[in-house]
Amino acid sequence: MRDLESPRTSSQKYAPLDWSDYFDREDDIQIPDSDDVFHVYMAGTEGPVVFCLHGGGYCGLSFALAASKLKEKARIVAMDLRGHGKSATQNDVDLSIETLCGDVFSVLKTMYGDAPPAIVLVGHSMGGAVAVHIAAKKSFPSLAGLVVVDVVEGSAMASLIHMQKILSNRMQHFSTPEKAIEWSVKSGSLRNIDSARVSIPNTLKYDESKKCYTHRARLEETEQYWREWYEGLSEKFLSSPVPKILLLAGTDRLDRALTIGQMQGKFQMVVVRHTGHAIQEDVPDEFATLLLNFISHNRIGPHGIEIPGLRRPPQSKP
């Protein structure tokens, strides 16, 4: 028997899935005194806020499948970063670390004002670098935890010389979103078809002149910022004063500072087997379980670190 998919079954297999099957709602966060609007997806009603930052070229829906499990015990917010997904900014290629950190601070401030709930910051790849820089600034008092997904300074810095080649070798144009989903799975960049069906369509834009879909994020135009994402990342990660966990897809990634830090018990590390770079997409249930265990183990509640036996006084306004 020939093992060939007919075009019909292939297009059904790679048909886009709607975000609303995983998140409860979406919103556009208009930053005051600017024209920047950041798109967020939200789920859950109680517990700390798990605030998710995706990697370069991905989008907030990268966390969709994990959100459907996380929302049982936490509130999830997944943001489309500048130049990605449905966010719209005055300069989509300014991916400097200061600008990206400023965007996240602005969204948190606009959403929660001066009394934010406990925030567990989760970042994948480029988003992981942003999360670490934010935590290291120590200027967000309600930050209660830091989760970094598959990014380590040493290997990230070493890979930068290959980045332009990797970007140029990607398939650039797709006749339909289904074709882009199929390519992302068959190329191995994502290993979970359902996650690709949710997240990939939002990483595309339609090119009217070429009558096809192409990548929304113009990463090849942002090379001037790449080094600053990762330089000094290990020390910044170790210096952030909150509980932290590093999730890795491979064991050969720890540099000297992190190896020493791990031996000293400064952070938790988990190597997640049988997954690619996008751990949260490839094994969303395992990813969600790791996050919920991290929150539980560190007793992170809706208002911060919960100390057993200590009753919080009711919040009374002066």
Just list the catalytic residues: 125, 150, 277
Token pair belonging to 31: 């930053």
The answer to whether the beta carbons of residues 245 and 135 sit under 8 Å apart is: no
Tell me phi and psi for residue 300, to 5 degrees.
-90, 115
Q: CA–CA distance from 179 to each of 96, 187, 192 (Å)?
A: 32, 12, 15
Element (H, E) at 79: strand 75-79
**Cβ neighbours for 146, distance < 8 A, ≥ 6 positions apart:** 120, 121, 131, 132, 135, 237, 240, 242, 243, 244, 245
- Using DSSP, state whether 269 is helix, strand or coil: strand
